[in-house]
Amino acid sequence: MQKEKIIIMLTVFIDVLGLGIIIPVLPFYVKSFGASAFTLTLLFSVFALFSFVSGPFLGALSDRIGRRPVLIISIISTAIGWFVFASAHAVWGLFLGRIIDGLAAGNLPIAQSYLVDIAGNDRERTTNLGIIGAIFGIGFIIGPAIGAALSSISHAMPFFFVGGLATLNVLGAVLFLPESHTHMEKEKKIILNPFHPLSNAVRDNSMRLRYAAWFLFGLALSGMQSVFALYMGTVYGFNSVMVGIIYTGMGAVVFLNQTVLLRRFWLRRFSEATLETWSFLTNAIGYFLLMAPSVYVLVAGIVLNVFSQSLLRVVVSSRAAGIAGHRRRGEVLGIMSSVLSIAMVGGPLLAGALFEVKHSIPFAVFGLSLASGFVIMKNLQPITN
């Protein structure tokens, strides 16, 4: 394995481990401030809003000056954001921390661009992107257990720990991460208006429908992430430890899917076009199953969601990167990050509002959005094959 691939894997792993630590305990930390469920979802939306502003700019900047410096800036922002969040004494401090993190939230799309840069062919490109999915799985196996242990010391401790990990991540990237982008466009004009690349995306016939489906996926994904722990606590009475155990199990499934099944089963038996289309439908079914007031059906819904979401993340990104080509790859992946971010602004807000009406309604709405994504991808199929 290339040295560069190992280093970027470690860089992404530290970032994802932080996510695995904080997601299961975040609702319980926010509730300690006396905040409502809607305030919790608003924190997700604020981060996504600032990610939307920064995403396309960072992606295009990485095409111009390289992946390495942009990735380092992004990780520094993450470290500062989590330290501010952990040190908060009021709700406004929580929002400030998420804003700082969101201002340079380019870790994942830049890492994706990096792994695509060093891929030798289309199959290796998809496999490299699958590595990120596998890392997500490992992070969510180890992270929730660490988060549960640290939260028993104090509600803020997991977030200080994540800030420390991000700081180590900065040092590792500065010392060991080489540049991967060999086709830099030094004279490329960078437009600061975050809506400009989206307007270009609307006019891009080769990508427009894929962007639309990606938006619907992001809407469902972010909505679930923002209320799922609350849902399990309210409907099933699970505490932070039990929620952590469930997220650990989800991480194990993601790891299995990305390290073993993606290359040895999914990519051997199905085309990428088939996988990115039908995964929308299985994901939708998983959301509908989450509505049933049964632990067994809940588990079935979680398994379907985890398998389909982890496949969608890889194959849709891989297909987009392949269509874009090496000169527009950072820009396109940045736009996909922006599309995902704008979806993640609306998803948590919608989920929070619907959750307060009835706890199961968000899953019905997001299941329908994924079903709509499936219809879009079916129409896209003849164009891309």
The pLDDT score that the predictor gives to residue 382 is 46
| DSSP secondary structure, 72-126, as one string | HHHHHHHHHHHHHHHH-SSHHHHHHHHHHHHHT--HHHHHHHHHHHT-SSHHHHH
Q: Which of 137, 1, 66, 42 is nearest to 348 (CA)?
A: 42
**Residue predicted with more confidence, 172 or 91:** 91
**Residue predicted with more confidence, 178 or 236:** 236
Least confident of 76-85, 221-230, 265-274, 352-361: 265-274
The Cα–Cα gap between 136 and 354 comes to 28
The Cα–Cα gap between 159 and 208 comes to 38
The Cα–Cα gap between 98 and 304 comes to 30
Q: What is the mean pLDDT of residues 9-34?
A: 80
**Residue predicted with more confidence, 316 or 120:** 316
The Cα–Cα gap between 131 and 142 comes to 17
pTM of the model: 0.76
Average model confidence (pLDDT) for the chain?
A: 83
Sorted by sequence, the CB contacts under 8 Å of residue 98 that are 6+ apart come out as 43, 46, 47, 50, 81, 85
Share of residues in the chain with pLDDT > 90 (%): 26
The pLDDT score that the predictor gives to residue 65 is 82
Q: Is residue 311 very low, low, confident or very high in pLDDT (cuts 50, 70, 90)? A: confident
Residue 302 tokens, joined: 């979680």
The Cα–Cα gap between 135 and 195 comes to 31
Q: Which of 225, 244, 218, 338 is nearest to 290 (CA)?
A: 225
The pLDDT score that the predictor gives to residue 28 is 79
CA 362, 363, 369: angle at the middle one, nearest 5?
90
381 pLDDT exceeds 60?
no
The pLDDT score that the predictor gives to residue 384 is 42
Residue 280 tokens, joined: 């929308």
- When computed from its CA atoms, the radius of gyration of the chain, rounded to whole angstroms, is 19
The pLDDT score that the predictor gives to residue 250 is 86
286 pLDDT exceeds 70?
yes
The pLDDT score that the predictor gives to residue 5 is 77
**Beta strands in the chain, from DSSP E residues, in sequence order:** none
Model pLDDT for residues 253-264, shown as the tens digit of each residue: 888 887 788 878
The pLDDT score that the predictor gives to residue 305 is 93
300 pLDDT exceeds 80?
yes
112 pLDDT exceeds 80?
no
The Cα–Cα gap between 46 and 51 comes to 9
110 pLDDT exceeds 50?
yes
Least confident of 55-69, 114-128, 199-213, 300-314: 114-128
The Cα–Cα gap between 225 and 218 comes to 10
List Cα–Cα distances, 228 to 24, 223, 233, 302, in angstroms: 9, 8, 9, 11
- Exposed, middle or buried by CB within 10 Å (0-12, 13-18, 19+), for 45? buried
Alpha-carbon 255 to chain mean position: 15
Task: Select the CATH number that applies to the domain covering 3-176+197-384 from these four: 3.90.1150.10, 1.20.1250.20, 2.60.120.10, 3.30.1330.10.
Answer: 1.20.1250.20
The pLDDT score that the predictor gives to residue 184 is 65
Cβ atoms 329, 113 nearer than 8 A = yes
